[in-house]
Amino acid sequence: MKSLISALLAAIVFGSASWAQTSWIGGVEDLPLMPGLIEMTEKSVVFDKPGGRIVDAEAIGRIDLAAARRFYADTLPALGWSPVGADLFRREGEVLRLVFSREGGNLILRFSINPEAAR
Residue pLDDT, tens place only, 16-51: 434 445 699 998 888 999 999 999 999 889 988 888
Burial class, 46, CB count within 10 angstroms (exposed 0-12 / middle 13-18 / buried 19+)? middle
Number of domain units in the chain? 1
- Alpha-carbon span 61 to 52, nearest angstrom: 29
Query: 106 - beta bridge partners?
Result: 103
CA 31 – CA 6 distance, rounded (Å): 9
Q: Which pLDDT band, with edges at 50, 70 and 90, does 84 fall under?
A: very high
Q: Is the pLDDT of residue 112 over 50?
A: yes
Domain range spanning residue 112?
A: 2-118
Consecutive H or E run containing 2: helix 2-19
Measuring CA to CA, which residue among 24, 21, 10, 34 is closest to residue 100?
34
